[in-house]
Structures are given as structure tokens and as C-alpha cells.
Amino acid sequence: MNFGMRLAAVATAVTLAAAPAVAQKKSVKVILKDPQGKDAGTVTFKQVKKGVKVDVKLENLPIGDHAVHVHAVGKCEAPDFKTAGGHFNPTMKHHGFTSTEGHHDGDFPESVTVGENHRGEKTFVADYLSLDPAAPNSIFANGGTSVVVHEKKDDQMTDPAGASGNRIACGVVPAA
């Protein structure tokens, strides 16, 4: 290796060593909106030792059970929110926690019940999600994801979305 090649190799190594690593967020809050742009709640993702703690708080939505999922595209265009794409599913599994072939990474283990006050809450830990932008199961994957609330509960088995009906609220996961 001649002197010029060695100098270039050293310069490259120094540049790579000095390049800042992408910082992993400890938490991120997603603001949900309905098709008219009104507040529909929040979903907060927080990195914990055993995965990601997910705190869903719904408001101003119809009474009943509503599926909530992470979708593959970071877009939420009203009125139908179809721009959010399908469920976040980097491992190409089937839908639902009762599926013998595993569940989508965008699936949540339970639906959220909205009461007569038009509010509902659910908290759980998703050991199958990450906030590390470099991880394949990161909610920041592929330029970002979104969170969608559906009109019905999730049956936890029917592909592709648990027979959960139309999309009634959506929020884009902020960039990492």
C-alpha cells in the first residue's frame, strides 16, 4: 500500500470514528387526530428494559372497543387514513396474537375500550418493538410509521387487520 492509500485509509477511519451515532430516543408521543382534524388522543412509546411501554389514551371517539395498530407508513391523510399503509410487519407474519404463526409487529395485544365519557386507556409492554432507529423492529423504520385507531375491536386472528373495520383516527410517529 503506497503512502497516498494509507493516508486515505487513515482519514476514512478517523471520519468514521468521529461520525455521531444516531441517538436512540427514550420516548416518543404520537398525537392522534380524527378525519376532521380534531384531537383523538395520544400514544406514548417509552423504551424500557423488556421492550417498549405503550400508553394509549383515546378521547373524543365513539363508545365501544377500538383496535389500535402501528402502520407501516408515516402518513395520515384524511378522511380514510389509507396512506398509513398496512400494519407494520417487517417479519412478514400473520395478524393477531392468537395466530399460530406469530403476529405483526404493528399488532397490539388488546383493543381499547372507550366509555360513555368518550375516553379510553390501555397500557402494556411490547417486547417485540424498539425505539432504536437501527433496529428492524423500530417504530422509526423505513422513514417512519403511524398509529391508527379502528372503528371496531381487533379479533386477534383475521388477516390483515383483525376485522377491525375502518380507520377513524391516525397519528404519525415523529422522526427519530
Q: Tell whether 39 is covered by a domain.
A: yes
Residue 165 sits in a domain of what CATH number? Answer: 2.60.40.200
Its domain, for residue 32, covers 22-172
| DSSP per-residue codes, the chain | --HHHHHHHHHHHHHHHHSPPPPPPSEEEEEEE-TTS-EEEEEEEEEETTEEEEEEEEES--SEEE-EEEESSS---TTT-GGG-SB--TT---SSTT-TT---TT--SS-EEE-TTSEEEEEEEETT-B--TTSTTBTTGGG--EEEEESS---SSSTTTTT--SEEEEEEPPP-
Q: Tell whether 165 is covered by a domain.
A: yes
Q: Tell whether 3 is covered by a domain.
A: no
pLDDT confidence of residue 105 = 92
Q: What is the pLDDT of residues 65-121, one digit of tens each?
A: 999 999 999 999 999 999 999 999 999 999 989 988 889 899 999 999 999 999 999
Q: Tell whether 134 is covered by a domain.
A: yes
pLDDT at 162 over 90: no
Q: What is the pLDDT of residues 7-51, one digit of tens each?
A: 344 343 433 444 444 456 789 999 999 999 999 999 999 999 999
Q: Tell whether 161 is covered by a domain.
A: yes
Q: What is the pLDDT of residues 127-149, one digit of tens each?
A: 999 999 999 999 998 888 999 99
Count of structural domains within the chain: 1
pLDDT confidence of residue 170 = 98
Q: Tell whether 26 is covered by a domain.
A: yes
Q: Tell whether 8 is covered by a domain.
A: no
Q: Tell whether 2 is covered by a domain.
A: no
